[in-house]
Amino acid sequence: MTATFSETIQTGYSFKGDSIKLGLAMLDGKIVENAEVRLPLKTLNRHGLIAGATGTGKTKTLQLIAEALSDASVPVLMMDIKGDLSGIAAAGTDNSKIQERYAVLKETFKPAAFPVELLSLSEEKGARLRATISEFGPVLLSKVLELNETQEGLLAILFKYCDDNALPLLDLKDLSKMLQYAGNEGKAEIEKEYGKISTSSAGTILRKVIELQQQDADLFFGETSFDINDLMRIDDNGRGVINILRITDMQTRPKLFSTFMLQMLAELYTTLPEEGDLDRPKLVLFIDEAHLIFNEANKALLDQIETIVKLIRSKGIGIFFCTQNPMDVPPPVLSQLGLKVQHALRAFTANDRKSIKQTAQNYPESTFYKTEDLLTQLGIGEALITLLNEKGIPTPLAHTYMIAPRSRMDILSEVEINDLISRSKLIPKYNRIVDRESAYELLNKKLNAASAQNANQTGSPHATASAAKPKAEKSWLETAMNSSAGKQVQRSIVRTLFGVISKMLK
């Protein structure tokens, strides 16, 4: 039996291209020598799931895979929601447990620190990730704000109006000002060229923008907008940079988090070229505590995530979702995940037992294991694994004793974090505060000019705000296309198209 098992695993987990060793397979609770469970780099763009009850080893698995990817020159982006990933930047330390694990696996523990860049969406230490409202585009923004069709139509008109009138929409302040203007002083002027404006729709959108601001979305919208290529850096030693996005404060701002996720996925999709099948991915994303996105996302956002997860594969991007219960991931997304690393599940309630049964059914049948029973018996740092081989066929289910990470299995100290920050190449680029003249300031100027004109021409009852329309020599679109901001505009156009395509795909 062991010989057949060993052969099944060896055949199932041998790949032509490069692969990462995850551990050794186990049968009847015992480690089987030479039964290596490996992960081929080529199929990492088929995405993955790392699931399991609390404390069973999900984060360590994520750390192990991220380390191996960095070694293989693949950059990584990790969402650090619990704040327990920074240790990747420091070498691990030996202890008896690690020694024991490595001895069993017949490997030598070689501690290593990895190149890490800390990123942030808020005031946490790290290079700031931001995006402008115009980059977001009306389609994506409507999804985030949960707008109906009429409201979405209005938003599209306002984006167009801003394009035509040299009014850059950079942050939420610009958007709010534009909405106020459209519902009041600017209504007549806009209606003349763009058709009817519903004041109540403008009011509703404005209320939703305020809701978003209550989750501190102001921190995210604006300049300097993040260039996605900065996530794909290789260090001087040829190792992929591990970007750690520190978002411990996102648990209380789920809407901001899902907004950011969606924007980033769309950005990756629109910016990167079509790649076909690469030998290794260009970037791998790990989303720890992924239930946070799925629990809070509305239907439109979920549909969008599903579409992007499907399409982004061809751009050479792999996404790994990490969550306690695999049922946290909506079925359409779950069905897109090629790699599954399932750590132990706990059966406390009837509901737990139901979900364990369902989980077991989602795995390939195995003659070696009783999957449903095994799911609750797995030890810490052990997992049930199946993935797609290079032909796209699921590998045999393998109860795996996982290798321990080589970097620190704990966090960095404040001093170590400060040191990392001081060496950052991205912080000087992204952490300057920029608030250049945009829609907010320009509309205020326009209104002031109009009221001054009104005061001067008290005899003329026909003076309107439009009389003060700034004279753009070229349209904003023309100027912007030829300027450094041109890239942003082009992206937002592509994004709008992308929204249309994703609608058609549904």
Ligand X SMILES: Nc1ncnc2c1ncn2[C@@H]1O[C@H](COP(=O)(O)OP(=O)(O)OP(=O)(O)O)[C@@H](O)[C@H]1O
* Binding positions for ligand X, rule: CB under 6 A: 52, 54-60, 82, 101, 324, 343, 380-381, 402, 404, 409
From ligand X, Mg ion, none, interface partner of 96 (C-beta below 5 to 8 A by class) = none
Shortest gap between Cβ of 243 and ligand X (angstroms)?
19
* Closest CA relative to residue 297, chosen from 146, 139, 498: 146
Q: Which is nearer to ligand X, 404 or 465 (CB)?
A: 404
Measured from the Cβ of residue 339, the count of other Cβ atoms closer than 10 Å reads 23
* Closest CA relative to residue 74, chosen from 14, 17, 8, 145: 17
Stretch in the footprint of Mg ion (CB under 5 A) among 58-66, 169-177, 367-375, 429-437: 58-66
Q: Which is nearer to ligand X, 110 or 462 (CB)?
A: 110
Shortest gap between Cβ of 410 and ligand X (angstroms)?
8
From Mg ion, ligand X, none, interface partner of 91 (C-beta below 5 to 8 A by class) = none
CA distances from 78 to 50, 125, 184, 245, 247 (A): 13, 15, 44, 6, 10
Q: Which is nearer to Mg ion, 127 or 290 (CB)?
A: 290
From Mg ion, ligand X, none, interface partner of 281 (C-beta below 5 to 8 A by class) = none
Per-residue x/- track, 17-56, Mg ion (CB under 5 A): ----------------------------------------
Q: What is the end-to-end Cα distance of the chain in Å, rounded?
A: 47
Shortest gap between Cβ of 284 and ligand X (angstroms)?
18
Q: Which is nearer to ligand X, 56 or 270 (CB)?
A: 56
DSSP letter at 319? Answer: E
Q: Which is nearer to ligand X, 87 or 115 (CB)?
A: 87
Residues sharing a CB contact under 8 Å with residue 83, sequence separation 6 or more, in sequence order:
246, 248, 411
From Mg ion, ligand X, none, interface partner of 381 (C-beta below 5 to 8 A by class) = ligand X
Q: Which is nearer to Mg ion, 59 or 407 (CB)?
A: 59
From ligand X, Mg ion, none, interface partner of 205 (C-beta below 5 to 8 A by class) = none
DSSP letter at 467? Answer: G
Shortest gap between Cβ of 152 and ligand X (angstroms)?
38
Q: Which is nearer to ligand X, 52 or 183 (CB)?
A: 52
| Rounded distance between C-alpha atoms, residue 320 and residue 256, angstroms | 20
Shortest gap between Cβ of 23 and ligand X (angstroms)?
8
Shortest gap between Cβ of 343 and Mg ion (angstroms)?
10
Q: Which residues pair with 91 in a beta bridge?
A: 407
Q: Which is nearer to Mg ion, 45 or 59 (CB)?
A: 59
From ligand X, Mg ion, none, interface partner of 52 (C-beta below 5 to 8 A by class) = ligand X
Shortest gap between Cβ of 375 and Mg ion (angstroms)?
18
What is the DSSP track for 330-383?
-HHHHTT--EEEE------SHHHHHHHHHHHHTSPP-SS--HHHHHHHPPTTEE
Q: Which is nearer to Mg ion, 58 or 282 (CB)?
A: 58
Q: Which residues pair with 286 in a beta bridge?
A: 78, 320
Shortest gap between Cβ of 381 and ligand X (angstroms)?
3
DSSP letter at 468? Answer: G
Shortest gap between Cβ of 482 and Mg ion (angstroms)?
48
From ligand X, Mg ion, none, interface partner of 101 (C-beta below 5 to 8 A by class) = ligand X
Shortest gap between Cβ of 112 and ligand X (angstroms)?
15
Shortest gap between Cβ of 323 and Mg ion (angstroms)?
10
What b-and-e string marks burial along 404-430, b requiring 16 or more CB atoms within 10 Å of the CB? bbbbbbebbeeeebeebeeebebbeeb
Stretch in the footprint of Mg ion (CB under 5 A) among 59-67, 93-101, 185-193, 267-275: 59-67
> In degrees rounded to 5, what are phi and psi of residue 499?
-60, -40
Both tokens assigned to 505: 């795909």
By CB atoms closer than 10 A (0-12, 13-18, 19+), residue 353 is middle
Q: How many residues bind Mg ion (CB under 5 A)?
A: 2
From ligand X, Mg ion, none, interface partner of 409 (C-beta below 5 to 8 A by class) = ligand X
Residue in the shown chain whose Cβ atom is closest to Mg ion: 59
* Closest CA relative to residue 329, chosen from 360, 364, 302, 361: 302
Helix (H, G, I), strand (E, B) or coil at 30: strand
Among positions 59, 132, 201, 407, the unique one binding Mg ion when judged by CB under 5 A = 59
Q: Which is nearer to ligand X, 163 or 288 (CB)?
A: 288
| Rounded distance between C-alpha atoms, residue 343 and residue 51, angstroms | 6
Residues sharing a CB contact under 8 Å with residue 245, sequence separation 6 or more, in sequence order:
77, 78, 79, 80, 119, 120, 121, 126, 129
> Which DSSP helix (H) or strand (E) runs through 51?
strand 48-51
Q: Which is nearer to ligand X, 222 or 405 (CB)?
A: 405
Shortest gap between Cβ of 58 and ligand X (angstroms)?
3
Q: Which is nearer to ligand X, 67 or 267 (CB)?
A: 67
From ligand X, Mg ion, none, interface partner of 60 (C-beta below 5 to 8 A by class) = ligand X
Q: What is the dihedral of CA 66, 69, 75, 78, to 10 degrees?
A: -10
Helix (H, G, I), strand (E, B) or coil at 35: strand
Measured from the Cβ of residue 465, the count of other Cβ atoms closer than 10 Å reads 22
Give the binding site for Mg ion (CB under 5 A).
Answer: 58-59
